Chains A and B, each alone.
Chain A
């Protein structure tokens, strides 16, 4: 499975934007970049995904580097509810499962 590298933890202030980085230097041309998050005591939750272009949805934005070797999940205005573990995962087009790494634990400071 292609691997991603994320910081173990990050902190941000409430109501500030948050940029969560992810490196995936071995990404292949058909791998999609997925982001999930896991709030305390809950199951993983899909956040956003993309292939080459930047993506926006109601939860977040995904900025993908031109060479696709890195990406950034952007939470535009963090709330306390956004405190979670965020997982950056490559989903291979020929492989139906996804594999979780350790993710980034995001702490939001009030």
Chain B
């Protein structure tokens, strides 16, 4: 069964450094998402992406964050200058369509630790 893959599984970085989290969505999917989950808290929506542009973003997704689909298969989340509070699990997801009948499929996440 096709799945969403994320790399790396764990990333440790120093405060102020840039990180890029990578995702390979399911190949025929058109909608892409990033979510994050701080330890012990809810899964939070960050951004959705369709047709090479952001379709929606949350208040968390400020100017320090950016997303890109650099080629036909990868979808990346960049954090320009990491802060301690960016430490979390980051989940990528994809969906075949953007309507209610189309489920999201998630990867197993990248654990980001900012020291």
Contacts and interface: CB of A to CB of B under 8 A. Distances in A.
A43 B42 contact: no
Interface size class of B (residues with CB under 8 A): 20 to 34
B100 A43 contact: no
Most buried by A among B4, B50, B108: B108
A99 B42 CA distance: 10
A49 B103 contact: yes
Interface of B: 4, 31, 33, 35, 42-45, 48, 50, 55-56, 89, 91, 93, 95, 98-101, 103-109
A32 B100 contact: yes
A44 B48 CA distance: 16
A38 B109 CA distance: 12
7 contacts: A31-B100, A43-B109, A46-B105, A91-B100, A97-B33, A97-B48, A100-B35
Interface residues of A, number: 25
A53 to B, nearest CB: 13
B51 to A, nearest CB: 11
Interface in A36-50: 36, 38, 42-46, 49
A19 B109 CA distance: 28
B31 A96 contact: yes
Contacts of A46: 103-106
Interface of A: 30-32, 34, 36, 38, 42-46, 49, 51, 87, 91-93, 95-102
Given A31-B100, A32-B101, 9 more contacts: A32-B100, A44-B43, A44-B104, A92-B100, A96-B50, A96-B95, A97-B48, A100-B35, A100-B42
